[in-house]
């Protein structure tokens, strides 16, 4: 999704909702878009219809259910998303004094999230390879050899996934659990954001990103140690860790391929990630975006 596209869609949605959008500003774009409307105190999330099918309200319904379970989440401004052409826009409260949580707070919040009872007919099962073909096809700067490598990895990992029995058992997952998706305000409020990935699956999945980011060198040894002690489980000691680690690296590479267009630095990092996946040295030299 391009920035101009996201801005135009959000302005149309804001007009329909009756809120100001003259100061709309991009927060980030990738597969989806996030646009800040400062005057309205609103964050708008833009999602292509093709990625969510007919479940337009699932994210706002999930937010309401999680709040009932005393899980800290960001609140929707309105329960009904707005359809603009081939996009769906949901409007959320903006937390202007917020910052990413530290790893101890993330571990505490994940432990609480993973302890809530499983809902009935609300959440999908985790699908680690969802939309793989679409992401591969739309990725920039990928040649036929890259396609072959990534497809081979997907095939091998999907076979392993189907045969894996996880140690902890199913739980409610955030699905994309990292510090930027758990915000803390100056007043002490905590809130999970980006709830479109919430699902049911093994808790190891939610622990993998933090462990992988540690291996990338993005967190210190002490910070990761405190994360593990707070949660009470180190996913890197799990038999499933090599598989989980590689699945996440595959997804991170495909994500970067979605957003590397017209960005030489991202293109160089994308090429590096593919090369290290090919020679087995990943995630050496991986940088974050």
Per-residue pLDDT tens over the stretch 97-138: 899 999 999 999 999 999 999 998 899 999 999 889 888 888
Residue 289 has pLDDT above 90, yes or no: no
DSSP three-state, residue 77: coil
- 253 exposed, middle or buried (CB, 10 Å; 0-12, 13-18, 19+)? buried
- Give the Cα separation of 184 and 210 in Å (integer): 18
Residues 120 and 262 occupy one common structural domain: yes
The domain boundary, picked from 68, 94, 120, lies at: 94
- Give the Cα separation of 83 and 45 in Å (integer): 12
The domain boundary, picked from 70, 94, 118, lies at: 94
CATH number at residue 25: 3.30.200.20
DSSP three-state, residue 190: strand
Residue 287 domain flag: no
Residue 256 has pLDDT above 70, yes or no: yes
The residues, any chain, with a CB within 8 Å of residue 157's CB and separated by 6 or more, are: 128, 129, 243, 246, 247, 250
Nearest alpha-carbon partner for 169 in 104, 118, 223? 118
The domain boundary, picked from 73, 94, 115, lies at: 94
Half-sphere exposure of 10 toward its Cβ, with a 13 Å CA cutoff? 33
- Give the Cα separation of 58 and 155 in Å (integer): 29
pLDDT digits (tens, 9 = 90+) for 179-201: 999 999 999 999 999 898 999 99
Residues 35 and 18 occupy one common structural domain: yes
pLDDT digits (tens, 9 = 90+) for 45-84: 998 887 765 566 888 999 999 999 999 999 999 888 999 9
Give the Cβ contact number of residue 277 at 10 Å. 19
Domain with 16 in it? 3-94
Helices (H) and strands (E) in the chain, counts: 10, 10
The residues, any chain, with a CB within 8 Å of residue 73's CB and separated by 6 or more, are: 63, 66, 67, 191, 192, 193, 195
CATH number at residue 188: 3.90.1200.10
């Amino acid at each position: 999704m391009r920035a101009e596209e996201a801005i135009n869609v959000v302005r149309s949605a804001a007009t329909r909702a009756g809120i100001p959008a003259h100061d709309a500003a991009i927060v980030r774009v990738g597969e989806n878009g996030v646009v800040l409307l400062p005057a309205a105190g609103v964050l708008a999330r833009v999602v292509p219809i093709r990625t969510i099918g007919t479940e337009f309200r699932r994210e706002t319904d999930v937010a309401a259910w999680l709040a009932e379970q005393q899980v800290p989440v960001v609140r929707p401004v309105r329960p009904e998303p707005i359809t603009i052409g081939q996009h769906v826009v949901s409007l959320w409260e903006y937390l202007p004094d917020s910052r990413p949580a530290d790893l101890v707070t993330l571990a505490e919040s994940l432990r609480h999230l993973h302890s809530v009872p499983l809902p009935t007919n609300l959440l999908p099962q985790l699908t680690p390879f969802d939309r793989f073909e679409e992401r591969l096809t739309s990725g920039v700067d990928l040649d036929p050899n890259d396609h072959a490598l990534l497809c081979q990895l997907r095939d091998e990992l999907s076979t392993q996934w189907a045969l894996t029995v996880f140690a902890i058992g199913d739980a409610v997952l955030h699905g994309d659990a990292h510090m930027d998706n758990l915000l803390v305000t100056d007043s002490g409020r905590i809130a999970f954001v980006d709830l479109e990935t919430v699902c049911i699956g093994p808790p190891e999945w939610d622990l993998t990103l933090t462990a992988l980011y540690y291996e990338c060198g993005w967190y210190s040894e002490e910070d990761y140690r405190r994360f593990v002690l707070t949660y009470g489980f180190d996913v890197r000691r799990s038999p499933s860790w090599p598989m989980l680690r590689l699945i996440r690296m595959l997804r991170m590479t495909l994500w970067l391929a979605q957003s590397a267009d017209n960005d030489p630095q991202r293109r160089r990092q994308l090429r590096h990630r593919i090369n290290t996946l090919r020679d087995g040295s990943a995630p050496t030299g991986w940088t974050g975006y």
